[in-house]
Structures are given as C-alpha cells and as structure tokens.
Amino acid sequence: MPDLRALDLNLLVVFQYLMEDRNLSAVARRLGITQPAASNALRRLRATFDDALFVRTAQGMLPTPYAQHLGGAVAEALSTLAHALEAPPRFDPASSSRRFRVAMTDVGEIHFMPALMEHCARQAPGVRVESVRLQGAELQREMDAGRVDMALGAFHGLAGGLLQRMLFRQGYATLFRRGHPTAHEGMGLKAFRAERHLLVSHAAPYGQVNQALEKAGLVLATHFSVPHFTAVPYIVSATDLLATVPRKLADSAASRFGLGILTPPIRVAALQSNLYWHARFQRDGGNQWLRALIVDSFAQR
C-alpha cells in the first residue's frame, strides 16, 4: 500500500476512467490531454502501486486482479468527493424548518422579535428564531462554535472572526406617566435631578446612561433599580418615577402604556446597534437569508 502523502490523487481519476473505458485514447479525450500524457499517468500509477493494473488485450485494457480490488474503493471515494464539492442546496425559506439562535439583549428582544416573528410567519412558516442572552467572551465562543448564528443589537467585546453591519444609531429618552405632576418635555437639569428615577442596573452595554446620570449629579444608590428593561414601562406607568431608556424602546412603550416622553437634559452618547455574524457562515444560504431580512427590516436608510 503506497503512502497517501506520496500519491497524486489526480491519478485516481485516470484509474477510474480506465476502469470504465478500458481504452487509453478514450481516457485522454475525456481528460482533455494528449495520449502520451495519459500513458505517462498510467506509468506513474503502475510505479505507485507496483502493479501493471491494466494489460492491453484484444478486448481493450483489462484490469489486473489488484486493479479490480482497488476499483470499488476508488469509485466510491471519487463519488463521495464529487458530491461533497457540489454547491450546497439552495436555502428555501418557504420550506425550511431551520432554527436560528440569535443573541439579543432584553431591549433588543422587545424591538426585534415581534417583527422577525411576523416576517417568518409570512415568508418562512417553518423557520424559528430563538433568542439567547449572552455577552462578551461567552457569546464569542458560542459564535465561533456555530451554536449561535448571529448577534443583534449593541454588544461589546466581540472580536476575531466576526463580521458586522451597522443597523442604526439611537439616542435616549425619558419615560414618565401621563398625569405626572412635574415631568414635562423641556424640563431643566435641576428639576430633572430632583425627581425620583428608575435605573436599569444590569443591562450591558447600556451602563452609559447611569454614568451620565451620575455625572449630572444623581446619587444612584438613592434611586430605585431593576436588572432589566422589561419591567420598566409597567413600573413607570404606575408610579411617579422617571426612566431613561433607548429611544426606540421609549417610542414603543409610550404608545402601549400611555406614557409621556421627554428629552433628558443630560448628554449620553448615541447607542449603535449592529448585526454580527461569523465569517465561517458568510456564504451559508440560511444565514444570508436571515441577515438580508434583518437589514431590510431594521437598517436605517
């Protein structure tokens, strides 16, 4: 048995064609090479396997017993390789039952998931989008391993191997209940600072809001807090607390919960939301389809 490292695998194609055609001239024509080149390939095959492999007879080039022994394995290997090299099947959202895992924050779920579910119901009724809550190094590992298809929103700490596309930038707005005795659009910093606030304490990467509030003079420890954005509109609608949140969340919550909106008199850097995916899946049909759907649905024009 020859060392595979020393075997020119192109010679196996010559071997396979000789098994099929039993004629060296026919093999040369199929390969688009000259007959001397085909003869040289046969010579190299014989030297590699230390066997005549094919013997010229009145019935053509007939295989030796060792060539017959090799024939089935070579044909199967070449067939398997040819199948693997074929273009992958086209992704058809209408018939697919693929499940995509997409990392989002809780505020991202509020903004992205309803529209994604609606689009999937219309275009891809068998496709499911599963939201996962991951950040930083853990999210990077899961995307590297292919267990998370993409990340959608404002994420920090993502690096090697990932591609990204900016979707939109947004500022912040402050929510208050309608009928609040003192809150109103245009209120100054002193009045704003005097109010009671509801803080979101563990919603990375939105900590810049709390930093801006603290820089403006609020003592954060004296105010109420919740770990996530989900509960914010429920609490604000039932209290006199103010809550400063990303603008898209404020716009969505205001209409649903009967809340007022004011521009906070503090400076907070705009928040950028991106779409992230791994370079390994750049040409994956399903990944491409979902990326296009997300860009069409949410990207700023």
Express each pLDDT in 165-211 by its tens digit. 999 999 999 999 999 999 999 999 999 999 999 999 866 667 788 89
More confident residue, 143 or 88: 143
Mean pLDDT for 271-283 is 93
Rg of the chain, C-alpha, whole Å: 32
Tokens, residue 201: 């304490």
Whether CATH 1.10.10.10 fits 4-85: yes
Angle at 201 between CA 196 and CA 203, to 5 degrees: 130
46-to-26, 75, 79, 86, 196 alpha-carbon distances in Å: 19, 18, 23, 31, 89
Count of other CB atoms within 10 angstroms of residue 191: 13
Q: Are strands 224-226 and 198-200 parallel, antiparallel or unpaired?
A: parallel
As a whole number, the mean pLDDT across the chain is 91
Structure pTM? 0.73
Express each pLDDT in 109-154 by its tens digit. 999 999 999 999 999 999 999 999 988 889 999 999 999 999 999 8
Q: What is the pLDDT of residue 9?
A: 83
Mean pLDDT for 271-288 is 93
Residue 223: pLDDT above 80? yes
* CATH number for the domain running over 99-167+282-298: 3.40.190.10
Cα separation, 299 vs 301, whole angstroms: 6
Q: What is the pLDDT of residue 203?
A: 62
pLDDT-above-70 percentage for the chain? 96
Q: What is the pLDDT of residue 80?
A: 86
Whether CATH 3.40.50.1820 fits 172-269: no
Q: What is the pLDDT of residue 160?
A: 80
* Number of alpha carbons in the 13 Å side-chain half-sphere of residue 204: 7
Among candidates 296, 185, 299, which has minimal Cα distance to 250? 185
**Domain(s) of CATH 3.40.190.10: residues in the chain:** 99-167+282-298, 172-269
**Domain(s) of CATH 1.10.10.10: residues in the chain:** 4-85
Residue 36: pLDDT above 70? yes
Q: Residue type at 121?
A: A
